[in-house]
Structure 1
Amino acid sequence: MTPSDLLSLAVQSCVDAAALLRDIHVDVAPKGAFDQVSSADVELESFLRGALTAGAPGSAVVGEELGSATASVTWYVDPIDGTRNFVRGIPLSCISVAAAVDGVLVAGCVLDPFRDELFTAASGVPFSVRSTGLVITPGTSPRPLVLTDIPLPGSPYTGETDLLTDLLALADVRRIYSTALSLAWVAAGRADAAANIGVFPWDVAAGAVLVREAGGEFRSVAANAFVAGRGEIVDWLASRVEGIVT
Structure 2
Amino acid sequence: MGLVTPGELLTLAAQSCVDAAKLLHDVRVDVSPKGTFDQVSTADLEVEAFLRAALVSGAPGSAVVGEELGSSSAPLTWYVDPIDGTRNFVRGIPLSCISVAAAVEGTLVAGCVLDPFRDELFTAAVGVPFRVRSSGLSIPPGTSPRPLVLTDIPLPGSPHQGEMELLNDLLDVADVRRVYSTALSLAWVATGRADAAANIGIHPWDVAAGAVLVREAGGEFREIGSNGFVAGRGEIVGWLAQRMEGIVS
**Alignment TM-score > 0.5, same fold:** yes
- State the one-letter code of the partner of 1:210: L
Question: Offset of 1:242 from its aligned partner?
Answer: 1.1
Separation of aligned partners in 2, 1:188 and 1:21: 25
- State the one-letter code of the partner of 1:33: T
Q: Give the secondary-structure state (helix, strand or coil) at the position aligned to 2:121.
A: strand
Task: List per-residue Cα deviations over 1:202-237 (Å, max 9, x = no partner).
Answer: 000000000000000000111100000000000010
Does residue 125 of the first structure (1) align with residue 128 of the second (2)? yes
2:214 counterpart residue number: 211
2:189 counterpart residue number: 186
1:98 counterpart residue number: 101
Does residue 35 of the first structure (1) align with residue 50 of the second (2)? no
Task: List per-residue Cα deviations over 1:137-183 (Å, max 9, x = no partner).
Answer: 00100000000000001111110000000000000000010000000
- State the one-letter code of the partner of 2:112: C
Q: Give the secondary-structure state (helix, strand or coil) at the position aligned to 1:134.
A: coil
Matched length: 246
- State the one-letter code of the partner of 1:223: S
- State the one-letter code of the partner of 2:223: S
Task: List per-residue Cα deviations over 1:122-150 (Å, max 9, x = no partner).
Answer: 00000000000000000100000000000
Separation of aligned partners in 2, 1:123 and 1:73: 15
Question: Offset of 1:56 from its aligned partner?
Answer: 0.3
Summarize the alignment of residues 142-221 of structure 1 with structure 2, pairs less than 5 Å apart: 142-221=145-224
- State the one-letter code of the partner of 2:138: V
Separation of aligned partners in 2, 1:242 and 1:148: 16
Q: Give the secondary-structure state (helix, strand or coil) at the position aligned to 1:244.
A: coil
Q: Give the secondary-structure state (helix, strand or coil) at the position aligned to 1:245.
A: coil
Separation of aligned partners in 2, 1:101 and 1:155: 32
Moved over 4 A (4+): none
- State the one-letter code of the partner of 2:220: E
Cα RMSD after superposing both structures: 0.4
Separation of aligned partners in 1, 2:117 and 2:246: 36
Unaligned 5+ segments in structure 2 are none
Does residue 18 of the first structure (1) align with residue 18 of the second (2)? no
Question: Offset of 1:30 from its aligned partner?
Answer: 0.4
2:8 counterpart residue number: 5
- State the one-letter code of the partner of 1:38: S
Unaligned 5+ segments in structure 1 are none
Q: Give the secondary-structure state (helix, strand or coil) at the position aligned to 2:108.
A: strand
Separation of aligned partners in 2, 1:81 and 1:66: 14
